[in-house]
A and B are shown apart, each in its own frame.
Chain A
Amino acid sequence: MADSGIGARALRKEDHRFLTGQGHYTDDINVHGQLYAYFLRSPHAHAAIRKVDTGAASKSTGVVAVFTGADVAADKIGGLICGWTVTDRHGKPHKAPPHPILAHEKVRYVGDHVAVVIADTLTNAKDAAEKIEVDYDVLPAVVDVAKAMDAKAPQLHADTPQNLCYDWLLGDPAQVDAALAKSHHVAKLDLVNNRLIPNAMEPRAAIGEYDGGTDSYTCHSTSQNPHVLRLILCAFILGIPEHRVRVIAPDVGGGFGSKIFCYAEEVVCLWAAKKVRRPVKWTAERSESFLSDAHGRDHVTHVELGMDKDGKFTAMKVETLAAMGAYLSTFATCVPTYLYATLLAGQYTTPIISANVKAVFTNTAPVDAYRGAGRPEATYVVERIVEVAAREMKMDPAEIRRRNFVKPDQFPYQTPVALQYDSGNYAKALDDAMKLADYAGFASRKAEAAKRGKHRGIGFSAYIEACGIAPSAVVGSLGAGVGLWESAQIRFNPTGTAQVLTGSHSHGQGHETTLAQVVGDMLGLPIENITVVHGDTSQVPFGMGTYGSRSLAVGGSAAAKAADKIIAKGKKIAAHLLEASVDDITYAKGTFRVAGTDKTKSIGEIAFAAYVPHNYPKDLEPGLDETAFYDPANFTYPAGVHICEVEIDPDTGVTKIVNWAAVDDFGKVVNPMVVEGQVHGGIAQGIGQGLLEGCVYDKETGQLLTGSFMDYCMPRADDLPSFKVGMIETPCPHNPLGVKGCGEAGAIAAPPALVNAVTDALGIRHMEMPLTSERVWRTIHKMAAE
């Protein structure tokens, strides 16, 4: 037990199949008689479609069907939806222009779906697609979020003047302005949060199947949330009753948010499967992933932070332009509002804050949640302006943070931006991180580096985020179209092993191990005796899936509640078998005992009795199978301090990260190895954003210039230092496990730590991400931007 319960560094159960090539991903699945879909995509960022001629393509070898936007419109198929209504500052809902699954009359970004060819082989489908003739009337495009509202910018959609999706406000800017005017000093900064392309290792894929005998459908998809996908497919787009559709999201190779959403391709596969009466399969090629996966970030922000003469923050004002892309993706609207502006207090007691966010359409791929979703953008704003403030006030960057921290005795702490922080110990994380980073020794390391001609710098990031998404009533009041509880079911087998079914979905996070540890610890089972089942709507109770670092805090809590129900029922069975009163039965680590005696029954014996109830309580149902739903009382608030140390080669401008210390508070940790893996991966992604990654569209033509790994720079092992990871533990007070989410923290914390370190090394105020070697070189040599 000791090696697999809560707190154990248990090796991941799922790794055997992944590491030996025996995983089952969507593209590994082949259905008898399947056809292949190939999407013809728009080569233009913005164009009217005058005519689509599919005549020659339809007659091409092996082609079964060719469909266009006109066919979709004729079948009255609904468009893709945005599931979160943001109410603007005037009380009106956001603009939600139509988002057809195949473009109709207009294309709005390079990669927009124009037609689909369905053929016996992928090669034949591609050959046919080359024969489709599309007559485009090319229109001017706008790809830059900062230019989308310009008077001269082309308007993407009818009824969306200035390409404005919403103009949203949190807080009172007039009050904030007054407080800023009275402040001793106001630090100001303009910054860009660079647009990113997710690049999960497994590209998106889908298989649509239709069974005419039962008038039912199966959709295999690389989804992070199969039930939510089913709900959207059925109730909003295709108009099919939910009980006739089974969605299976088998092994999924990474998502980072990009696989939360309902995309055109999976809808088309399902719709077309019925039309052609054969299964239809589609797997994205990497270049399609670049073009059509929902991208992340893409903000332009102005921030002002006021402080008194001691560096205590007095007020903060934030104005942000956020790109939505050409159409609204499933949760696009909530990311730069409720997942962003609500985090602008950071770890600090800033008394008043206002945030104005204008979301705009651009001729680019849709933008939606990407690892951290809103919180990295907020943390970047807060931790950059705090750094600038420290430098302008000539204060130590650690000291200005410490002086403004919410203190341990202030919890629960109500921020001025809606959230109520539940627990934390920010100063402790800072102290530990400074020790781990050897902050005291930095000055001598900097001097030593200078002797070698290198610029050395250090940067802090004291981040907080809200995850474990989310209390249903809260998100409902903010415009969410769903509740964000989670489900779990524990099914014992007669021989004492168990299945744990979860509505969350693992696409790399290790749920099959972590959830088994939680349930195993509570029920006294080794994790080998537990199978975790997820990702199939026909097996698992309705669940909300995985995103927002919610699977353990919400899904794990549901599993713990189900385990409690198992124990409660087990006590009744044990009482009967041991001829005692239920009140006299105690339970610990898989053993039911008559209190104060040596009369016991193991949970295995109880399970056997429940399924072979020859000697069983009269008033009790047989079976040992319990379902629980858990709706969290609040978000969880992981927080911590990351410290980055860099060394810059002035000859080349190359930044080398020489040290990275991270101290995180994730509450109770179930599997430290899995959590450290999440922290490592998150930091790597954050370093990717800070140093290497940046999605670039050509400003004139709207072509995606970073359309492959030849130009889009992903972080690799040799770009990264060996991370020093520490943890502190202030348990979450409102969930049964005391846990906080850990999946996004690294990606949230890392970018400002890196930028703070580089700007410290160079003695400059600010520099935009990614901090490419040429940008750094030009900065050092005071040359104009490239």
Chain B
Amino acid sequence: MHNFDYHRPTSLADAAKRLSGEAKLVAGGMTLIPTLKQRLAQPSSLVDLGGIAELRGIKPEGGGLTIGAMTTHAEVAHSAEVKKTIPALAVLAEGIGDPQVRNRGTIGGSISNNDPAADYPAGLVALGATVITDKRRIAADDFFKGMFETALQDGEIVTAVSFPRPDKAAYMKFPNPASRYAMVGVFVARTGGGIRVAVTGAGPGVFRATEMEKALAGNFSADAIKSVKIPAAGLNSDMHGSAEYRAHLVNVMARRAVTACS
């Protein structure tokens, strides 16, 4: 790890001020710290969001939930509020990494990093969540921009994520056997606004399986999507799973998620 300056501000305003030059925000640090240790990043300073109390916590709001950016995966997984309002989100959080990761990693950090194999992007997109930053509100559909890219501008800080309550939702993940990241993860949500199917792990970034959404709108059952093929072209391919296999698994996981919804 190269040397860097370290700041732990106690307010958002102070944090924003510190974000100049090659400064980097650190939330849980689950990706950034290993990157620093491998000398693959060389920030001039780290601005640790851990000291800002307002970024933490889970609040019921407008029938849904607002989860502070610095809320850990373990807090989401064990929250009675989340289990009551969006149990599928608690299941998703419980399946991230291992206990150490779940107790350090945060929802804000995960979505800002937008790892193509991360779990949260599928949850946000399928649930039609809104990402709240210190500057604006961004619909999840507009927030994730492809591999490790988001709509966040330089110096913009995610403060919370707002989730509407779905009628039914379920997340099914096929983990990479080594890393336990999602090789394919499918989040299906049935909401007042329609049915949304979001896929993570399979492609360069989270995407909606719109053909499946259409089929499910007419008949919300696993059988309705059995013949809906996801094209393998453009999907990820590595030693753990070819694009063809991932495309197949999207269908299997989607059917399982639909079954879990009903």
Contact = CB atoms under 8 A, between A and B. Distances in A.
Interface of A: 123, 126-127, 130, 287, 651-652, 692, 696, 705-706, 709-714, 719, 772-774, 777-778, 783, 786
Interface in B199-248: 239-242, 244-245, 248
Nearest to A710: B179
Nearest to B251: A651
A774 B242 contact: yes
Contacts of B174: 652
Nearest to B252: A651
B17 interface: no
Contacts of B178: 692, 709-714
B193 to A, nearest CB: 30
A774 B39 contact: no
A559 to B, nearest CB: 41
Contact of A773 (B2, B177, B181): B177
Question: Secondary structure at chain A's binding surface: helix, strand, loop or mixed?
Answer: loop
Interface string B24-40: 00000000000000110
Contact of A696 (B3, B38, B239, B249): B239
Interface in B156-181: 174, 177-179, 181
6 contacts: A123-B1, A287-B38, A692-B177, A692-B178, A774-B242, A774-B245
Nearest to A770: B177
B245 A777 contact: yes
A651 B181 CA distance: 20
B242 A786 contact: yes
Contacts of B39: 126, 130
Interface residues of B, number: 19
Contact of B240 (A123, A127, A130, A772): A772
A777 B241 CA distance: 11
A651 B242 CA distance: 15
A705 B239 CA distance: 9
B245 A786 contact: yes
**In this complex, which of B38, B39, B179, B245 has the most chain A Cβ atoms within 10 angstroms of its Cβ?**
B245
Among all A-B residue pairs, the 5 with the closest Cβ atoms: A713-B178, A710-B179, A774-B245, A786-B242, A713-B177
Contacts of A696: 239
A651 B254 CA distance: 12
B245 A711 contact: no
A714 B176 CA distance: 12
A127 B42 CA distance: 12
Give the secondary structure class of B's interface.
loop
A130 B249 CA distance: 43
Interface of B: 1-3, 38-39, 174, 177-179, 181, 239-242, 244-245, 248-249, 252
A692 B240 CA distance: 10
A711 B239 contact: yes
Contacts of A126: 39
Contacts of B242: 774, 786
A777 B249 CA distance: 10
A61 to B, nearest CB: 11
Contacts of A130: 39
Contact of A123 (B3, B177, B179, B244): B3
Contacts of A773: 177, 241
Nearest to B242: A786
A127 B1 CA distance: 9
Nearest to A781: B248
Contacts of B245: 774, 777-778, 786
B177 A772 contact: yes
Given A123-B3, A692-B178, A711-B179, 19 more contacts: A130-B39, A651-B252, A652-B249, A652-B252, A692-B177, A696-B239, A706-B239, A709-B178, A710-B178, A710-B181, A711-B178, A711-B240, A712-B178, A772-B177, A773-B177, A774-B241, A778-B245, A786-B242, A786-B245
Contacts of B239: 696, 705-706, 711
B154 to A, nearest CB: 28
A271 to B, nearest CB: 27
Nearest to A714: B178
Contacts of B3: 123
Contacts of B179: 709-711
Contacts of A692: 177-178
A692 to B, nearest CB: 6
B221 to A, nearest CB: 16
Contacts of A719: 177
A24 to B, nearest CB: 24
Contacts of A772: 177, 240
A714 B177 CA distance: 9
Contacts of B241: 773-774
Contacts of B244: 783, 786
Contacts of A778: 245
A696 B38 CA distance: 21
A777 B240 contact: no
A630 B54 CA distance: 70
A284 to B, nearest CB: 14
A778 B39 CA distance: 39
Contacts of B252: 651-652
Contacts of A777: 245, 248
A778 B179 CA distance: 22
A326 B1 CA distance: 31
Residue of B178, B181, B248 ringed by the most chain A CB atoms within 10 A: B178
B181 to A, nearest CB: 8
A786 B244 CA distance: 9
B174 to A, nearest CB: 7
B228 to A, nearest CB: 15
A777 B38 CA distance: 36
A168 B38 CA distance: 43
Nearest to A705: B239
A189 B178 CA distance: 30
A123 B36 CA distance: 12
A772 B242 CA distance: 12
Contacts of B177: 692, 713, 719, 772-773
B176 to A, nearest CB: 8
A778 B249 CA distance: 12
A757 to B, nearest CB: 18
Nearest to B39: A126
Contacts of A651: 252
B44 to A, nearest CB: 16
Most chain B CB within 10 A, of A287, A705, A786, is at A786
A774 B240 CA distance: 8
A31 B22 CA distance: 37
Residue picked from A651, A709, A773, A774, most chain B C-beta under 10 Å:
A774
A714 B252 CA distance: 25
Nearest to B184: A652
A130 B248 CA distance: 44
A94 to B, nearest CB: 33
A283 to B, nearest CB: 14
Q: Which of A651, A696, A712, A778 has the most CB of B within 10 A?
A: A651
Contacts of B249: 652
